[in-house]
Structure 1
Amino acid sequence: MEDLENYFESNRQLWNLRTPLHRKSAFYRVPAFMEGATSLNRIELEELGDVRGKSLLHLQCHFGLDTLSWARLGAKATGIDLSDAAVEEARRLNRQLGLDALFVQSNIYNLQENLHGQFEVVFTSYGTIGWLPDLEKWAGTIAHFLQPGGTFYMVDFHPVAWMFDDEFEKIIYPYHNTFEPIVTESDHSYTDGSGHAPHKEYGWNHGLSEIISSLTATGLRLEFLHEFPYSPYNCFQHMVQGDDGNWRIEHLRDKIPLLYSIKATKPLP
C-alpha cells in the first residue's frame, strides 16, 4: 500500500507539471474552446447521446475541458482529478465561462470520502485507467456513484496500442495487468513536445477482459464494446491523418485497434 501511495504521488506531481504546459499547448486548443468550440469527439458525442438535464460525473477529468463541454451541452457536470493543479485550472475556466460545473481533487479510489450523491451518467475518456493498478476498485467507484438506471460510458486508447514501444515497431509491454507498475521517466508532454523536469510515471496495462469483467462484477450490464482502428488525436509517433479526420499509425494502418468504447447501465432495483 505504501508503494501505491508513492506511485500516485509521483503521478500527481507529473500531472501538476503537465497542466500549465497543456493549458498553453496547441493540442488542447484552449483559445478556440473559450470561444465556444467543444473538446469532445464525434465518438463520445454519438455513443453517449443527449445529456441535457442529466447529472454527469467525469472521472479523471484533467483540467476540465470535456467536463465543461458536457456542461455546455446541458449536463449538471462534476469532474474529479488527482492533480490539484489541474482541478485549480478547471475551476478557473469554469468561472471564466460562467458555467456551473463542480470540480473535486481526489484519487479515484478515495472519491467516496470526497464526494457524495449519485449521478445519471458516469463518464471517462482517453488515457485514464492506465494510471490505475486495480480495476475492481475503479469499477466499484463507478457502481457506487451511478444511480439505478444510469449509464456508464468510456472511450479510451486500446490496450493493444500500449504494448508497443514509442516507435510502434516492437512489442515490449504486456497486454494483461501484471500488477507491477510500468515505470518510465519523461521530460516532455505528449501534446507538442513541451519540456518539464524529468519525472517518473507509473502505469498499468489492462486487457479488455479485465475491464469488462470488473464492470460486470459490480452488477453493471454491458450494452456494447466497440473497437476502432483510429484515434481522434495525433498523440503517437508515425501518425497520418485520413480523409475522415482521424489518425492512424502509418505502417500499421487499420491493422491494430487504437481505441475502444464501452457503454454499460446499472439495472433498476
Structure 2
Amino acid sequence: MAGEDAAVEWHEAREANLANWEERVALHEKAYGLEAYDDPTHLSDVVRHDLAALERFLPSLAGLDVCHLQCHIGTDTLSLARAGATVTGVDFSPEALAAAARLFERQAADATWVHSDVLEARAAVTGDFDLVYTSIGTICWLADLDRWAAQIAGLLRAGGLFYIRDGHPALYSLDENAEGLEIRYRYFPNGQAQQWDEETTYAGDGTLASTRTYEWPHPLSEVVNALIGAGLQILRLDEDTTLPWRFSDRMVEVPGGYAWPEDERDRVPSTFTVVARKPA
C-alpha cells in the first residue's frame, strides 16, 4: 500500500532512494525542457519565484557564494548562477551531478559539484557561503532534520542566509487520488519512514525499475525548530497555495504552477517558505 509505515534502517532507505533517483535522471533530462536554457536569460520558474521571495533580504546574488543542496540535474543551480552567484551544487546521485555538469558545459557556465549526502555536506564541501539554498521536494527524503540543520549552519558564513521552499506537510497528508480534500497520511513523525512503490516519476513518460522509495513526514514545527536548534534565526515563514508540480490530478494550472480548484484553494497550504540567518 502506498505510504504505509516501514521500519527501515536509514542506510537501506537511502540506497533504495538513490537507485530510484539515479534512474530518474535520464527521464528528467528529457522532460525538464533543457533547451530553454539555451536562452542565456532563461531562469527556472522555481528560482524566479524564490529570488522574488529573497529580494527583501538579498536584493542581488551578484558576487555571492551560494551552496545549492540536493541540486539534482542543475537547472535551478544554473538559474542561481545566472542571477550572479558563484555556485556549488551538492547531490547524492552521481548520475544527477553528471547531468548537471553537462548542462553547465553546454551553457559555458561554471560550478563546483560535490557528491555527498546532504546530511554529510559540511564535511564534504570546501568553504562557506553567503546563501545556502534548497527548494521543492527535498526534506521528505531525510530522516534527521536536526542533522540536516546542523549541516546548513556549518556551511553558512556569519550573517549568511538559508532559504527553503518545499511542499507543505499539510499537503503531503492529503490523499492525492481522493475526490475531495481528504487526509490519508501521517502529518506527525513516529520514527518510521513511509514506503512507496511507483514506477513513474513526476516528470517524464518513461518507467523506473527501482520503484521503491522511502520518505519521512516532517511537520512545520519540526522544520522550524531544527533550524532554531542549529543556532539560526528565523526571519520569515510563509505559506502559499501554488505548487510548481501537479500533486494531484485535480489540481488546475495557474500562473506559477498548480493549485487546488478555486473553491478549495484557501482550505490547505501547498508550500511553505523559510528564510533564516546565521547570527553575525
TM-score (norm 2): 0.90
Provide, for residues 90-117 of structure 1, a one-character-per-residue CA deviation record: whole Å limited to 9, x for no partner: 1111111111111111111122332121
Correspondence for 2:64: 54
Q: Do 2:168 and 2:272's aligned partners in 1 also have CA atoms closer than 8 Å?
A: yes
Aligned residues: 265
1:155 equivalent in structure 2? 165
Could you say if the C-alpha distance between residues 219 and 198 of structure 1 is closer, same or farther in structure 2, counting changes exceeding 3 Å?
A: closer
| 1:234-255 CA distance string (max 9 Å, x none) | 343211123x444212263232
Give me the whole-angstrom Cα distance separating, in 1, the residues matched to 2:50 and 2:126. Answer: 26
Map 1:214-253 → 2, pairs under 5 A: 214-242=226-254, 244-250=255-261, 252-253=264-265
* SS of match in other structure, 1:116: coil
Secondary structure at the counterpart of residue 161 of structure 1 = helix
Q: Following the alignment from structure 1 to structure 2, what is the Cα–Cα distance between the partners of residues 91 and 207?
A: 34
Alignment-mate amino acid for residue 239 of structure 1: M
What residue is the counterpart of 2:4 in the other structure? none
1:189-268 superposed matches below 5 A: 189-242=201-254, 244-250=255-261, 252-268=264-280
CA distance in structure 1 between the aligned counterparts of 2:205 and 2:242, rounded to whole angstroms:
22
What does residue 128 of structure 2 align with? 118
> Structure 1 191/152 Cα, relative in aligned 2: closer, same or farther at 3 Å?
same
Structure 2 gap segments, 5+ residues each: 1-7
Match of 2:3? Answer: none
Q: In 1, distance between residues paired with 2:189 and 2:140?
A: 10
Aligned partners of 1:188 and 1:47: how far apart in 2? 31
**Aligned 1:1-269 pairs, distance under 5 A:** 3-25=9-31, 28-36=32-40, 37-41=42-46, 42-49=48-55, 50-168=60-178, 169=180, 170-242=182-254, 244-250=255-261, 252-268=264-280
- Of 106-115 and 16-25, more deviation after overlay is shown by 106-115
Query: Which range moves more in the overlay, 119-128 or 192-201?
Result: 192-201
TM-score normalised over the length of structure 1: 0.93
The two structures, once aligned, show a CA RMSD in angstroms of: 1.7
- Over the matched positions of the two proteins, sequence identity in percent amounts to 34
CA contact under 8 A between 2:131 and 2:160: conserved in structure 1? yes
Change (3 A) 1:154 1:245: closer
Q: Distance in 1 between matches of 2:85 and 2:122?
A: 21
Whose relative contact order is higher, 1 or 2, with alpha carbons under 8 Å and at least 6 apart?
2
In the alignment, residue 24 of structure 1 is paired with which amino acid?
Answer: K
- Label 1:254 to 1:127 Cα distance change in 2 as closer, same or farther (>3 A): same
Deviation at 1:193?
4.2
**Greater mean alpha carbon deviation, residues 65-74 or residues 36-45:** 36-45
Give the letter for the 1:249 counterpart.
Answer: W
Q: Which runs of 5+ in 1 are unaligned?
A: none
| 1:226–1:261 CA contact under 8 A, matched in 2 | yes
Q: Distance in 2 between matches of 1:186 and 1:198?
A: 9
Between the aligned partners of 2:88 and 2:256, the Cα distance in structure 1 is 30
2:230 & 2:97 partners in 1: Cα distance? 29
Deviation string, structure 1 residues 40-94 (Cα, Å, up to 9, x no partner): 4343011123211000000111111101111111100011111110011111111
Report the secondary structure of 1:195's partner residue. coil
Q: Is the 8 A contact 2:20 2:213 kept in 1?
A: yes
